[in-house]
Amino acid sequence: MIVLALVLTAAGYVLASLGGRSSSLPANLVPFLLIIGGLLGGAHIAVRRLAPQADALLLPVAALLNGLGYVFIARLDKNLAGLQALWTALGVGAFIATLLFVRRTRDLERFRYTFALLGIGLLLLPLMPVIGRNINGARLWVRVAGITFQPGEMAKITLCIFFASYLVEKRELLSVFTRHVGPLSVPEVRHLGPLVLAWGVSLVIMIAEREIGSSALFFALFVSMLWLATDRNVYLGLGGLLFAAGSIFSYKSFAHVQERVHIWHNPWPVFSGSGYQIVQALFAFAAGGLFGVGLSRGNPGRIPAVATDFIFAAVGEELGLFGAAAIILAFLLIVGTGMRIAMRAEAPFDKMLAAGLTTIIGIQSFIIIGGVSRLVPLTGVTLPFVSYGGSSLISNYVLLALLLRISDEEAGHRQTARLADEGLRAA
């Protein structure tokens, strides 16, 4: 399957070059193939060695998304392509390292408060005076020693680990409602603390870093994990209420949020100004139609930030509805596989973590695909594995490795259980 992903990526790369104006085979095809073959092969061998019983579908799907994304980045911006190759290498390195160091998920549980602090620290890093950087109006970046990165990407994972272990410990407390307010029964206020905290943190991030997408992602992640842990629908309702309150508050208070909403609602009056990006993306989708105009045959270059946030619009233009649907299907596969891993996992912490990590990928891809196609207001998050960006690629590979580790463990458990079962029967 990994070979299939490799073949598809290589074919896309060749086609993109053939479809271009020069209509020739890419000059660096052989080194290109060797490099991605080496990277994916390395990742594959690492999985076989370090997590031999892990799910066999996740890595090829992620590799396909990564490869397709690379083809588009190479076609859109030659300079970014070299960097993206480097990020991919680092991502695969992080993937192998994660598998290597996280041999048991229980190890993660022990460091939950470290992860929590790490996560919050990472989130706050961009706000630091010297190293924080504003890019496109959002303060999500940190620049150290000439390298710019988005710490929030990694914070998603560490916070997810924290949420999972915290909620597993407190699930009993949080699901017992002892207080009564009129006809409603509510949990102890002090147990509600984390919910309110998460709400507050996501609001603070949004206000301070001017980024709605990440905050929505954090909040959705936390509420769904809370709900998973407690099976209390009231948390969904409460979460929804707080989300609505936060949304209304930020809409009323911040011009940039209002602008985003207005552009989403009707971009046409500002088609040449603030609505330019989304309008151009819609034109790109329309130009693509069912089958797309063909790799390198379109004009996605006119969409600002097309290699990062808007890469999906480029796919929609050049590969058409079918190509775009294929990307969505790939994410669907990841979501399905991730949830299956969560359901099969033995330990509640593993279940929570797997479901949480899967939710991150699912929600994030929904936010950005929905954003560029005007289903929801546009916010600047990356499309996992596809978009250009080092922080995003590395953290998504780490996330993938964690999912595979959980998958390997549960398979190991099942095997042990089966062996024990057979042993019993034999006896």
Partner 1 sequence: MNSQIRRLGILLTAMMLALMVWLSYWQVFAAERLNDNPHNTRKIVRDFSQPRGVIQSADGDVLARSDPTDDTFERLRVYPERELFADVTGYFSFTFGSDGAERVYNDELTGRTARLRLTHLGDVLLGKKRTGNVTLTLSKRVQQTAASALGPHKGAVVALDPRTGAILALWSYPSFDPSQLSVHDQSSVRTAWDQLNKDPNKPLLSRAYRERYFPGSTFKVVTATAALSNGATLDQPSFPYLTELPLPNSGGQSLRNFAGHRCGGALPDILVQSCNTAFAQLGMDLGGDKLANAADGFGFNARPPIDLPSPARSVFPPAAAFLHDKPGLAKSAIGQQDVSSTPLQMALVAAAVANGGSIMQPHVLLEVRDSEGAVVDRYDPKEWRRAMASDVAATLRDLMVEVVRRGTATRAALPDVQVAAKTGTAQTDRNTQHAWMIAFAPADQPRVAVAVIVEDQRNSEDATGGAVAAPIARAVIQAALANP
Minimum Å gap between C-beta 266 and partner 1 is 14
Candidate segments 44-52, 109-117, 156-164, 296-304, binder of partner 1 by CB under 8 A: 296-304
How many Cα atoms occupy the beta-carbon half-sphere of 224 within 13 Å? Answer: 19
Candidate segments 1-9, 74-82, 91-99, 362-370, binder of partner 1 by CB under 8 A: 362-370
Sites for partner 1 among residues 25-54 (CB under 8 A): none
Binding flag, residue 271, partner 1 (CB under 8 A): yes
- Angle at CA of residue 102, ends 166 and 57, nearest 5°: 100
Per-residue CA distances from 315 to 84, 323, 389 (Å) = 17, 7, 17
Reading the block at residue 356, the tokens are 């949480």
| 261, 332, 346, 412: residue in contact with partner 1 (rule CB under 8 A) | 332
Given a contact cutoff of 8 angstroms between Cβ atoms, the answer to whether 412 and 347 are in contact is no
Count of all residues that appear for the chain in the document:
427
String marking each residue 231-270 x if it binds partner 1 according to CB under 8 A:
x------------------------------------x--
Q: At what angle do helices 212-230 and 348-372 cross, to 10 degrees?
A: 150
The per-residue DSSP string of 243-290 comes to: HHHHHHHHHHH-HHHHHHHHHHH--GGGTTTTTHHHHHHHHHHHHHTT
Binding flag, residue 219, partner 1 (CB under 8 A): no
Given a contact cutoff of 8 angstroms between Cβ atoms, the answer to whether 368 and 381 are in contact is yes
Nearer to partner 1 by Cβ, of 187 and 288: the residue is: 288
What are the start-end ranges of the H helices in 176-254? 189-209, 212-230, 233-253
Candidate segments 110-118, 125-133, 237-245, 277-285, binder of partner 1 by CB under 8 A: 277-285
Say which DSSP state 308 is in.
T
Minimum Å gap between C-beta 371 and partner 1 is 11
How many Cα atoms occupy the beta-carbon half-sphere of 289 within 13 Å? Answer: 6
Reading the block at residue 384, the tokens are 């996992």
Work out whether strand 132-135 and strand 184-186 pair parallel, antiparallel, or are unpaired. Answer: unpaired
Binding flag, residue 342, partner 1 (CB under 8 A): yes
The per-residue DSSP string of 12-76 comes to: HHHHHHHHSSS-S--TTHHHHHHHHHHHHHHHHHHHHHHSTTS-SSHHHHHHHHHHHHHHHHHHH
Binding flag, residue 18, partner 1 (CB under 8 A): no
Q: At what angle do helices 311-344 and 390-426 cross, to 10 degrees?
A: 30
| 73, 363, 383, 394: residue in contact with partner 1 (rule CB under 8 A) | 363
Minimum Å gap between C-beta 409 and partner 1 is 16
| 287, 393, 400, 403: residue in contact with partner 1 (rule CB under 8 A) | 287
| Residue 111, SS3 per DSSP | coil
| 53, 247, 373, 412: residue in contact with partner 1 (rule CB under 8 A) | 373
Nearer to partner 1 by Cβ, of 229 and 401: the residue is: 229
Say which DSSP state 176 is in.
-
Binding flag, residue 21, partner 1 (CB under 8 A): yes
Cα distance between residue 412 and residue 298, in whole Å: 48
Minimum Å gap between C-beta 369 and partner 1 is 5
Nearer to partner 1 by Cβ, of 113 and 322: the residue is: 322
Candidate segments 71-79, 326-334, 383-391, 409-417, binder of partner 1 by CB under 8 A: 326-334
Nearer to partner 1 by Cβ, of 282 and 307: the residue is: 282
Residue 148 pairs with which residues in a beta bridge? 143
Binding flag, residue 351, partner 1 (CB under 8 A): yes
Binding flag, residue 348, partner 1 (CB under 8 A): yes
| 186, 251, 321, 346: residue in contact with partner 1 (rule CB under 8 A) | 321
Minimum Å gap between C-beta 287 and partner 1 is 5
Nearer to partner 1 by Cβ, of 198 and 345: the residue is: 345
Minimum Å gap between C-beta 22 and partner 1 is 8
| 194, 299, 305, 413: residue in contact with partner 1 (rule CB under 8 A) | 299
Q: Which residues bind partner 1 (CB under 8 A)?
A: 21, 224, 227-229, 231, 268, 271-272, 279, 282-290, 299, 301-302, 316, 320-321, 324-325, 328, 331-332, 335-336, 339, 342-343, 348, 351-352, 355, 358-359, 362-363, 365-366, 369-370, 373-375
